[in-house]
Chain A
Amino acid sequence: MPRSAPAVQTVDVTKVYRVGHLDYPALKGINLKIDRGELTAIMGPSGSGKSTLLNIIGALDRPTSGRVLIDGVDLRKLGEDGLALLRNKSIGFVYQSFNLIQRLTAVENVEMPLIARSVPEQVRRSRSLKLMSAVGLKGKSRKRPNELSGGEQQRVAIARALVTEPALVIADEPTGNLDSKTTLEVLNYITQVNKAMGTTFVIVTHNPEVSERTHRVVTLRDGLIEKEQHLERIDAYTK
């Protein structure tokens, strides 16, 4: 794969949902290129196609037409298993509602992506614990999600997204359920990882506090890109 390939590239991506006999176009032709190490916010009113785009970029959903390339790999060429492997290897997911498995402990949740690829228990446990202390959850590894605060749960989810050291992290309203203080903590951590490891982030958000901290804001409306806005901070991460 060419080193110069962008982290994410979409070419004329459309998505049409069919309900009964009616077609609902969610995306009407998205052309987007996100560089490696870029921190991108996707904004727009509800129903503008943000989440649909995010699912397509995250290889969870296939477009009705158009191409999606992740690290230069055309997703059309991958089957169900290929997409699963790609998600496991290269993509981390963070959700508004955390999506942790309630019966597992925090550290077991973090380990889940590594279990899928047969990493032995000791290796994955030590890697997960290291990551958990990096997100400030030292000593909470044995707690279950319902014993943790919202901010702590989201940090567990972030640790789970990062444990495979993915090139790309996709976040759907990651701070939507958090208060402003916790939002700030989570944002700090995201920018820190972005700087330190060069991880590409694509974040869907309504929160201007979040989008302000990114390099680029893409605004969608009615399934099309309405505007793209590059922010000043872009220099900060290239160093």
Chain B
Amino acid sequence: MLISDMFKLAVKALVDRKARSVLTILGIAIGSAVILALIASSSGLSAGVQSQVDRIGANTLIVRSAAGFYASGGQTSYQLSQDDVRILKSFQGVVDVIPFYSKGINIVSGSGTIQGSLQGVDPNQLFKLYKGLDLYEGVLPSLYDPAAAAIGYGIAFPPGSTAQLADVNQMLSVQISGVKGGMAFLVKGILAQYGSVLFSNIDDTIFISLQSAQILFKTPYYTGFYVITDTPDDVASVQQIIQTYYGANVRLIGASAILSSIQSITGQMTVFLGSIGAVSMFVAAVGITNTMFVSVMERTREIGVLKALGYRPRQIMSIFLSEAVVTGIIGGIVGTMLGYVLSFMIGGALPLSGRGPFGGGGGTAAKPVFTPELLMFSLLFPIVVSVLAGLYPAWRASRMNAVVALKYE
């Protein structure tokens, strides 16, 4: 029997019972879609977090003043100063301490308001902190020019707008909470497109020098520090020491801590969605077996005819199995397409966005990751499941007694 004939017969048989075939296919497609969406979005989430962590380095810890935040035990008034730089530097495993100022800002552009952040940090440290960050145009602000700024790519070229908002050597107006009438900066440089780091979008950030920020914010107290440890393994112990020393006076944001907490969320989600996927796949398999049993019963007489016409048991089994294969192929294709859409929906709902440690909006939705292996799996797995589910009914069909089958009403 030619394989092409086998599949033609299978398709005709499936088309003959359209509604039933569609429901069976839907069952297996949903199973496959859930599994695909789950794997693609959770690996996308991991990859997204990983890349954010990679950018700032796994040995970086952000220590932020808790002043103004309600910490456990009440509002703290402890302020971070140059003394704390010395204290932090004395801790075992700390290599460097880089102070920063930051504040949330709003920038009115042609296409709406950009929620960004203003960050004062030593310009010489900027590219060391953010690996791979570079200038798109212009230069970094000098240390003592209070009005000079380097602006993120997304501020210069607001997304969704074709017009450039600010160019090098132009003034840019910014609304800052607590500063009446806002501020204007002279754009010295535009940073290249970079993306988010620890949920803060660098593209929506304005960088000024530490000294400028000090003058602008009229305070000697820093918003926080970048604490650089010797190795990523030191982060945990340094974090422990800082936590013990400062208690509720600071908030700590560690790249690796975020990574591990997100990975634990992803892990739980994987288990949860994975069991849904497995259960729906199992239900689909039972559905296929059931549908095929009904089909074998209904076609008992036809099986008798096939036997009389000289079809061998194995050929009859192949005819029924190829119906399962076709069900699986269509289920795989539909499921993969469904899963593709679904993974973006899951990705959008994941916590890879929110307000970052520097204020302002930021972060990006987790983009699902589709590897060729994953797509192959979601196409082929339904076929394997269908064939396994169809094996027993098909075998029963092939073993049927010809004389009895021909008499079946």
Contacts and interface: CB of A to CB of B under 8 A. Distances in A.
A116 B306 CA distance: 9
A113 B12 CA distance: 17
A88 B312 CA distance: 9
B301 interface: yes
B301 A120 contact: no
A89 B310 contact: yes
B1 A99 contact: no
Contacts of B5: 115, 118, 121
Given A116-B309, A118-B2, A104 B402 contact: no
B309 A112 contact: yes
Contacts of B301: 99
Contacts of B308: 58, 60, 87, 93, 99
A55 interface: yes
B307 interface: yes
A230 to B, nearest CB: 29
Contacts of A160: 309
A116 B311 contact: yes
B310 A95 contact: no
Contacts of A93: 308-309
A29 B309 CA distance: 27
Contacts of B406: 60, 95, 99
A55 B403 CA distance: 7
A239 interface: no
A84 interface: yes
A85 interface: yes
B313 A60 contact: no
B305 A99 contact: yes
Contacts of B403: 55, 60-61
B16 interface: yes
Contacts of A99: 301, 304-305, 308, 406
Interface residues on A, range: 20 to 34
* Most interface-central of A101, A113, A118 (chain B CB within 10 A): A101
Interface in B292-350: 301-302, 304-315
Interface in A109-139: 112-113, 115-118, 120-121
Contact of B315 (A61, A104, A116, A164): A116
Contact of A101 (B2, B302, B313): B302
A115 B313 contact: no
Contacts of A103: 12-13, 15-16
B70 to A, nearest CB: 72
A81 B312 CA distance: 5
A116 B310 contact: yes
Nearest to A163: B309
Contacts of A104: 12
A120 B312 contact: no
A157 B2 CA distance: 23
Contacts of A117: 1, 310
B255 to A, nearest CB: 63
Interface string B266-310: 000000000000000000000000000000000001101111111
B13 A85 contact: no
Contacts of B9: 115
B296 to A, nearest CB: 15
Nearest to A90: B310
B13 A61 contact: no
A85 B308 CA distance: 10
Contacts of A23: none
Given A61-B403, A101-B302, A104-B12, A115 B1 contact: yes
B312 A84 contact: yes
Nearest to B302: A101
A178 to B, nearest CB: 19
A179 interface: no
B125 to A, nearest CB: 75
A88 B13 CA distance: 22
Contacts of A84: 307, 310-313
A208 B309 CA distance: 28
A73 to B, nearest CB: 15
A80 interface: yes
Nearest to B4: A121
Interface in A14-65: 55, 58, 60-61
Nearest to A164: B310
Contact of B310 (A55, A61, A87): A87
Interface string B372-392: 000000000000000000000
A86 B305 CA distance: 15
B310 A85 contact: yes
Contacts of B1: 115-118
A167 to B, nearest CB: 13
B362 to A, nearest CB: 60
A211 to B, nearest CB: 23
B2 to A, nearest CB: 5
Nearest to A93: B308
Contacts of B314: 81
27 contacts: A55-B403, A58-B308, A60-B307, A80-B312, A81-B314, A84-B307, A85-B312, A88-B309, A88-B310, A89-B310, A93-B308, A93-B309, A99-B304, A99-B308, A101-B302, A103-B13, A104-B12, A112-B306, A112-B309, A115-B9, A116-B1, A116-B309, A116-B315, A117-B310, A118-B1, A160-B309, A164-B310
Given A84-B313, A86-B310, 17 more contacts: A55-B402, A58-B308, A60-B307, A60-B402, A80-B312, A84-B311, A85-B312, A88-B309, A95-B406, A99-B308, A101-B305, A104-B12, A112-B305, A112-B309, A113-B310, A115-B2, A120-B2
Closest 6 CB pairs of A and B: A88-B310, A87-B310, A103-B16, A84-B312, A113-B309, A60-B402
Interface of B: 1-2, 5, 9, 12-13, 15-16, 301-302, 304-315, 402-403, 406
